[in-house]
A and B are shown apart, each in its own frame.
Chain A
Amino acid sequence: EGKPLVHTTAPSEIQDSRVLEAKVFPTYGGTKTGVALLTGGYRFFYISDITEENPQYKLMTDIPGLDAPPSSWAALPQDRSIELLVSNNNSLYLIDRVNCTPVYPQRMYNSKGSVIEMSVLYKTLDIALFSENGFLWVGSSSLQNMYIEFDTEMPSPPSQMCWCGTFDSMLDMSAAVILVWDTEHLYKVVGIGMNPECSVHYTDSSLFVSHEIDGARVISAKTHELIRRVPQAMVDVLGVGSSQSGALLYDAQREFDQNSHKANDYMQEIVERGDIELAVTQCINAAACSMKPKLQKALLRAASYGKCFLANDNPEHFGDICKTLRVLNQIQSFRVGIPMTYQQLHSFTVTGLVQRLVRMRLYFLALPIVEYLKVPKGQQMVLSHWAMEKVRRSKESDEEIAAAIIKKVGMGDGISFASVANVAKNYGRTELAIKLLDLEPRSAEQVPALMRMNRFTNAIEKAIESGDMDLVHTVIVTMEAKETARDFINALKDYPVANSWYAKWCYLTDSEKLRDHYYTQDNFEASALLLINEIDYNGMVDAKIKQLESITRHFTDSAKEFETRLTKEQVTLIKRQLALQSKVPDLVGLTLNNTISMLIQRALFADADSLRKEFKIADKKFWWLKLQALVATRNWPELEKFAKSRKSPIGYGPFVKECIAGNNKAEAIKYIERVSKEEQVEFFIDLDMPERAAEIAKSAKSIELLDSVLNAIGPNNRVLSETINSFKNVI
């Protein structure tokens, strides 16, 4: 984006002394870009990825006796490292980080003197070397294979040397090397093959060549030309005298247009060969190679003519090529000025093209292209770039810019509003940034961005909205660190979800902090409940009473009258338990009911009674407690006394029930007459005395009760069953 890269890790030698020369080359299989540097001290450094934030500058070994710039050098990227080929004083050296090896190119017979120009074809790691005497040596970069050695017949060193196309094999002369003598206004193209060919071209201005995978661009003051080997696909169809099926189809279509019967003859031939599909493909591929719309059209017409003869045709390839060619023809126009072949686009990728277009701010073109070619995420890419530019350049008000962006981009179409907002923030337009962030649907981007702008309330709001408590947590923690305690507490107060989360977190990590928090928020009830949680039931009594008293205060402050009363009761209970400690140890900490039970179990009836009065315990409850405690200690005489003391407020059923549970039949029977007949029947069944049960049921004259006895005894007790049935008959 035109920004200088600043590497603070650069060694002092680079920062101090001048960099004489730099060479850029692809690394990591073409995914990254590296750069090698020659310093004023004649030493070489390289970094393997220029986009890295703090790249490591690696130093290469020294070349012996190098005290002036070398006559030429080149970088040879290997798998994980790089090597440099350096020419100095008639010798070639291959250096890496430890070794410096003199090397000698194979079969270099005629080249004499130093190598003064080098050019590497990175894709295949081939190299061209130009020597002082005008000879060109081309071979593998290992220098072990020589492809050609050729006399350029030029006495002066070339101003530029560059590969043209990609080298496949010696046989088809797929690549060439272009040598430029700028001052002479000429360049020579040396084809690499079994019989190297050379052509000379003259221009009327100085020129520059650049490598392409399928050729080279030659750019002069007025022209921009592409030099390439004629693609095989075009030769197949358009080559003079070609007898390929594609060529026949092309001719057939032209004849057809002229209403000539020859069309039929050609088609007949293709059909006989069984080649229609091949013919169609050849025409399509030839069209893809062409850069002239007229020719493309003609070839595609031929292809579509051929398609009529195909039974099962997959239209995808044809469609793709048509669409891509339309795009290529568009960008070739002088208004855009990016002439490109189909093959170049293929390797450059459409995404790459779109990126270039947006950098040229050709949004009007980029947007239809991504839509037309259905580029994944293309729309977002174009629109977010547009939005960022809008933010950078527009002088309009925040509202207007935000509105314009919303209008064009729509809501939530996947563009990163957070990154657009970041641009706004960097341009000092904070308000706009916040407006834009409001549109960002991805909370994980939105919230941190708001925090970076210290917009904590916005951030907490959005975090809560997202439901992602992890995000809420992050905001709270950041806020707590950055804001004053006062501001922090106040901010939380407005957001119950955040407040509650903070409390939960404190509870897990630091309850001291939580107590302070409730205190500053005047949340008395929560303070009280927190304290209840902290009561140490095994601790010292005094401490416990103190704790309970402060709980009482908190409840009073929060106007919780009932809870206050209960807590005060708790204090009284502990004090009474303390007082009774001499008679019954270990009372402290028991519940009120258990305390009373314990006293009754120890036959301390008077003490139990005084607790009853003090805590205003209802008769019913007291009777229950006493009944259970007496049965538990099997204090039967006392139980009888108790039962007779006055009329039981809970009836006598519980007496029977508890005695049965306490496994004392005799005691149970003592009370059984004081309950209703229905209950008596039930209890006698429980006591395993079905005869008595039957008698009671009979006396109650209840068929229902008799049936329940029948039910309980089951079919095996014949005698009783008959008796009961006879009772039933009587009734």
Chain B
Amino acid sequence: VSTQSTGRMTDYSSGGIKLSFLKDLARGDLLDHLKLCEGSKAIFWDPKLKGPFNLIIDWQILKQHGVKKMFELQDYIPAEVLENKWQSVIMLIRPELPLIDQINRAVRSLTVAQRNKLDFHIIFVSRKSTMCMQRLEKYKIVGEFKNILELELDLIPFDHDLLTLEYSLGFREMSVELDDSCLYQVSRSLMSLQSYFGFIPNIIGLGPSAEKVNKMIQRMRKEGAAHEKPLTPRIENLVLIDRRVDLMTPMSTQLTYEGLIDELFGIRNNTVVLPGADFLSDAERDQVQPEEVKPKHISLTSSDPIYNDARNLNFNAIGPFLGKKAKQISAAYDEKHDAKSLQQLKHFVSKLPHMQAEKKALEVQTTVAQLVKKQIYNKAFHHKLGIEQILREGIDVDKLNEDIEEMIYREESLKKVLRLLCIQSIAADGLKPKLLEFYKREIVHSYGYHHLITFDRLQKSGLLSAQDKTPRKSYPILRSTLNLTVENVNEKEPNDISYTYSGYAPLTVRLVNWITQRSGLKYLADMVKHLPGNAFQDSQKLSATQDRLEYSDNHTLVYFLGGCTYAEVSALRFLAQHHPNNATFTIATTKLINGDTLLDTLIEPGKDQRS
């Protein structure tokens, strides 16, 4: 991780590992696929794919390759496709049955004569599944498709050090449904990464999913043994972390700038959507009607000169940071007056575009920060943080928490209630059965009977649990030995990763720290027995012709199975910056999550709302 970056960071490099080529590959593949679909094209997107693809390819390039218009996949083919005599209709989807149903409806919305005028194609991301093909056959529409293609797209580079599968249901699949689909995709993505960066010599895994992935990649390596290319390993360690190892972290409220933006407004595909009115100048505000103001889409990546530095800070450090930046920029503008000679003036002018870009970025980020501030500088938010903190410190976790109880009676947001409840359950290594039943009953009375299903899922996933007869003392031990809760944390000039949660250090990052500083699990033995599933350390043979050579840097790929939070990413970046062995990290995850989005995959919406 290149952390001390000031200014522009367009180069997608981290510890010498360049990730941007993954985008180029995916883009190339997509264009190759489009070439197989003749003539002018209309693309129908699986809505979940549009965001990720936006990061890979832009509209201009698609236009150059004959794409006339893009639609969200729907139950019919819009008339303009036929009116404009576009030739190819391309459905770009993940292999999910409801989408196949939708395709069926869309195709059948046309008459046979109309269909004959069009070429239909499906592009599956990343694989077509037997299940989907069978469904297409059942509908008897397979013959309608001129091409049924597969587009390999697994890890999408979200930033120079961050890769994600954007697999939304990963956590639910692996922890509730015993479904290995997501882990299989993780394994495939690791194989393809290894085909570029060489086999990673050390693998350290925490949790049951990590073990599964390790088995799968060893197996896949055997399958592909005949085609192995000799490559110098560029990544020294792979750390696989099952999200279930640390559920405390996603349930807690992230307090980094980026984390808070995600908690409050939701970052999707590196973009946050905010009310447009806040971003208008006073003059503009007078001119337009409030209802005409379009929501503002803000791209949040390291290419933004201000955001790149701001994202990883604790929110309490944001005010001073933005102030300092403002001063720097105005000082830079003031240089104009000092510029006496033509030479100096020329130098000043050459810096202008950069300064203007910085100034603009600063304005945007100042507005975003104000919007965040508005949401968090109130009693309710602080009250919530206070409860979180008390529970994480293990205070009275075996008793009924009256604040949570009150929230239930007041029917506050269910996700807020469940996050606190899960924190209590994790901190207590499971709630006393009677206490758990009490909470459950109250939630059913308040939020509905169907949440019995929600509880079933929460318990299967480990987010919520009933205490064993002889209670484990895992959390207190981990908390004290790994120093998870830290008092008097310095938020403005942090010296420890606990700044990311204002006094709580993500367990996952603590573990990564131990692993990368003290060569693996050796010294962690006493601790890992308190984690779910097995912890293991494995080494991969390099290809026969491949020389084991000294690594230019100590680079580690940390792969979160089941999602990771933005604050964890920030914590890992901080770790790299302060690492005694100069470790660098690439972070991969099945999905970027926060407590709310994770719970969204588990909470049963209830049938009345669903239909």
Are A593 and B446 in contact, with the CB atoms below 8 A? yes
- Quick check: B452 and A504 within 8 Å, CB to CB? no
Does A665 belong to the interface (CB within 8 Å)?
A: no
Q: Tell me how many residues of A have a C-beta within 8 Å of chain B.
A: 52
Task: Please tell me which one of the listed residues B97, B178, B441, B453 contacts residue A533 in the complex, with CB atoms under 8 A apart.
Answer: B453
Within the assembled complex, what's the spacing in Å between the Cα atoms of A230 and B452? 91
User: Given A465-B219, A500-B177, A537-B607, do A477 and B183 touch, yes or no (CB 8 Å)?
Assistant: no
- In Å, the complex CA distance between A466 and B131 comes to 17
Question: Hey, which chain B residues are within 8 Å of A244, CB to CB?
Answer: none
With beta carbons under 8 angstroms apart, the residue of A508, A532, A624 that contacts B97 is: A508
> Any chain B CB within 8 A of the CB of A621?
yes
Q: In the complex, which residue of chain B has the Cβ closest to the Cβ of A590?
A: B448
Per-residue contact bits, chain B 171-183, to A (CB 8 Å; 1 contact, 0 not): 0000001111101
Proximity bits, A85-114, B CB within 8 Å = 1, else 0: 000000000000000000000000000000
B442 vs chain A, min Cβ distance (A): 7
Q: Are the C-beta atoms of A468 and B184 separated by less than 8 Å?
A: yes
On chain B, the residues within 8 Å of A442 by CB distance are: 223
Inside 8 A of B118's CB, which chain A residues have their CB?
none
**Among B225, B406, B440, B453, which residue has its beta carbon within 8 angstroms of that of A413?**
B225
| Partner-binding segment picked from A45-53, A277-285, A353-361, A562-570 | A562-570
Q: Select B445's contact among A469, A497, A508, A591, beta carbons within 8 Å.
A: A591
Q: A593's contact among B130, B180, B216, B411, by CB below 8 Å, is which?
A: B411
Q: Does A70 contact B (CB under 8 A)?
A: no
As a 0/1 sequence over residues 439 to 474 of chain B, the CB contacts with chain A under 8 angstroms (1 = contact) are: 011101111111011001000000000000000000
Q: Which of B371-386 contact A (CB under 8 A)?
A: none
**Chain B 578-611 per-residue mask, 1 if CB under 8 angstroms from chain A, else 0:** 0000000000000000000000000010111000
Q: Is A301 an interface residue (CB 8 A)?
A: no
In contact, B450 and A469 (Cβ under 8 angstroms): no
**Residue pair B129, A414 in contact (C-beta under 8 Å):** no
Cβ-defined contact, A470 with B129, below 8 A = yes
A416-453 interface with B by 8 A CB criterion = 441-443
A532 touches B449 (CB 8 A): yes
B336, CB-defined interface residue at 8 Å: no
Give complex CA distance A505, B130 in Å.
Answer: 12
Do the beta carbons of A500 and B448 come within 8 Å of each other? Answer: no
Determine the distance from Cα of A414 to Cα of B228 in the docked complex, in whole angstroms: 11
Contact (Cβ within 8 A) A466 B219: yes
Q: Within 8 Å of chain B (Cβ to Cβ): is A680?
A: no
A412 close to B (CB within 8 Å): yes
Cβ distance B107 to chain A, nearest Cβ, rounded Å: 20
The answer on a CB contact under 8 Å between B222 and A535 is no
In chain A, residues 575-606, which have Cβ atoms closer than 8 Å to a Cβ of chain B? 589, 591-593
A412 with B225: CB separation less than 8 A: yes
Task: Judge whether B108 is part of the interface by a CB distance below 8 angstroms.
Answer: no
Contact A500 B607 (CB under 8 A): no
In angstroms, Cα B410 to Cα A90, docked, is 109
Closest Cβ of chain A to B73, distance in Å, is 18
One of B97, B127, B216, B453 near A470 (C-beta < 8 A):
B127
Does A217 touch B at the CB level, under 8 Å? no
Which listed residue, B177, B222, B405, touches A441 by the CB 8 Å rule? B222
Instruction: Tell me the complex Cα distance, A628–B406, Å.
Output: 12
Grouping DSSP codes into helix (H, G, I), strand (E, B) and loop, the A interface class, with mixed when no group exceeds half, is: helix
For B27-50 the 0/1 string (1 means CB < 8 A from A) is 000000000000000000000000
Q: Is the CB of B447 within 8 A of A414?
A: no
| Contact A473:B606 (CB < 8 A) given known A533-B450, A621-B409 | no
Closest Cβ of chain A to B251, distance in Å, is: 23
Contact call A592/B445, Cβ cutoff below 8 A: yes
CB-CB contacts of A519-548 with B at 8 A, as 1s and 0s? Answer: 000000000010011111110000000000
Q: Which of A477, A621, A654 contacts B134 (CB 8 A)?
A: A477
Residues A469 and B453 in contact, CB atoms below 8 Å apart:
no
Q: Please, which residues of chain B bring their CB within 8 A of the CB of A505? A: 131
Inter-subunit contact B225/A589 (CB<8 Å): no
| Contact, CB under 8 Å: A562 / B453 | no
- In the complex, what residues of A have CB within 8 A of residue B179's CB? 469, 497, 500-501, 504
Q: Chain A contacts of B450 at CB under 8 A? A: 532-533, 535
Our pick among A380, A477, A509 for the contact of B226 (Cβ within 8 Å) is A380
A467-B406 contact given A500-B177, A501-B179, A532-B453, CB 8 Å threshold: no
Chain B contacts for A413, CB-based, 8 A: 225-226
Give chain B nearest CB distance to A575 CB in angstroms: 14
Cα separation A10 to B450 with both chains bound (whole Å) = 66
Interface check B187, CB cutoff 8 A: yes
B180 with A469: CB separation less than 8 A: yes
Q: Are B225 and A473 in contact (CB under 8 A)?
A: no
A537 in contact with B606 (CB, 8 Å): yes
Interface set of A (CB-CB < 8 Å, partner B): 377, 380, 411-414, 441-443, 464-470, 473-474, 477, 496-497, 500-501, 504-505, 508-509, 529, 532-538, 562-563, 566-567, 570, 589, 591-593, 615, 620-621, 624-625, 628, 650, 654
For the complex with contacts A469-B180, A567-B449, 6 further pairs of A-B residues with Cβ separation under 8 Å are A414-B226, A465-B215, A532-B450, A534-B607, A537-B606, A593-B445
B→A interface (CB under 8 Å): 97-98, 127, 129-131, 134, 177-181, 183-184, 187, 212, 215-216, 219, 222-223, 225-226, 405-406, 409-411, 437, 440-442, 444-450, 452-453, 456, 604, 606-608
- 5 A-B pairs with C-beta separation under 8 A: A467-B215, A474-B130, A500-B177, A591-B449, A628-B409
